[in-house]
Amino acid sequence: MRSFRSLIRPLMPRDRADTIAFAFRNSEALVFRTDDDAGFGVPTRAQLDHLGLELRLETYIGELDDADVTAWDLDPEVEAPEGWTFEGVRALYGLIEEELYGLAGRSVQLINWRRNHQFCGCCGTPTEVVEAERATRCPKCGLVNYPRISPAVIVLVEKEGQCLLAQGHNFQTAFYSCLAGFVEPGESLEDAVHREVREETNIEIEELAYFGSQPWPFPNSLMIGFTASYAGGVIELEDAEIADARWFSPDDMPLLPGKISIARRLIDDFLERHSGS
């Protein structure tokens, strides 16, 4: 596995031509087809310079092995050069190198943050990048802004060998997934899980246990996963968000979310633990 270090600025001068350079039109990354057409490649700085694109808001991401990694903002109206294409980060899953995919998610979040904090939200003065940390500061009023991360909880609830899955009104396809929602101000992660399950399905839970986490850069979430056991209640849907919710057994599962998500990891873990039972 390749080694990545998150850094605010490079530790030493390098050949900028070899820099891995993510360039974004809004939230779409500029990539090229690999020689075998099996996936996409991420450009180097030399390749971007050759294309002659206007590169804005340079953001240093860190080091991948011996190469620097940077991110750039492009004009939202720019067209992809011949032989290149713009792809959303989610669409690149499985089509670029695994380490690069993680860096694409990190880069698009930081570019969105830079793009949205060029001016102070308090007094409107143009902001300055803080050299010693990942932040911008207003030179007039001193307001400091850090990259936004929005914590969200997601939970797989079990009852007698079944799991509770739901279908949202806003799901693009008819898959079922774990219950999830954003953490509210002043709320613990555990309180958020209990509240979301109760609000969306009227179910009470117990035996809450941490499962794992996943950065979710669509646009800036951090998903914190849990498992829990059914404690009581009958499913009653919260109509504003949930189209359907049911208990599913391992041998009668619905259409599931893609492998990219921690939701699928939670479900696959449930299926593995209950296989043959």
pTM of the model: 0.91
Q: Supply φ then ψ for residue 67, to 5 degrees.
A: -110, 140
Domain edge (last residue) among 99, 116, 133: 116
Q: What is the pLDDT of residue 170?
A: 82
How sure is the predictor about 277, in pLDDT bands with cuts at 50, 70 and 90? low
> Phi first, then psi: what are they for 57, rounded to 5°?
55, 50
Q: Which of 146, 161, 191 is the last residue of a domain?
A: 146
CATH label of the domain that carries residue 169? 3.90.79.10
161 and 79: one domain?
no
Same domain, 126 and 231: no
Q: Which two tokens stand for residue 18?
A: 């070899």
**Residue range(s) defining the domain that contains residue 47:** 4-116
> Are both 58 and 71 inside the same structural domain?
yes
Interior/surface letters 22-37, b for 16+ CB within 10 angstroms, e for the rest: bbbbebbbbbeeeeee
Determine the average pLDDT of the residues in 154-158: 98
- Is residue 61 within 8 Å of 103, Cβ to Cβ? yes
16 band by pLDDT with thresholds 50, 70 and 90? confident
Band of the pLDDT at 12, cuts 50, 70, 90? confident
Tokens standing for residue 236 = 């009653």
CATH number at residue 112: 3.90.79
DSSP state of 51: H
Which helix H or strand E contains 165, and what residues bound it? strand 162-168
Indicate whether 13 pLDDT > 90: no
One domain for residues 127 and 111: no
Of 115, 238, 109, which Cα lies nearest the Cα of 166?
Answer: 238
101 and 179 in a common domain: no
What ranges in the chain are assigned the alpha helix state H?
45-51, 98-116, 189-201, 262-274
Both ends of the chain: CA-CA distance in Å? 36
Q: Are residues 63 and 171 in the same domain?
A: no
Q: Are residues 25 and 99 in the same domain?
A: yes
Tell me, what's the pLDDT at 76?
97
Does one domain contain both 170 and 187?
yes
Quick one: tokens of 214?
């996943």
Give yes or no for residue 14 having a pLDDT over 90. no
> 113-154 pLDDT, tens per residue?
999 999 999 999 999 999 989 999 999 999 999 999 999 999
14 and 103 fall within a common domain:
yes
Total domains in the chain come to: 3
Q: Is the pLDDT of residue 276 over 80?
A: no
> Is there a single domain that holds both residue 108 and residue 167?
no
Is 177 found in the same domain as 72?
no
Same domain, 156 and 268: yes
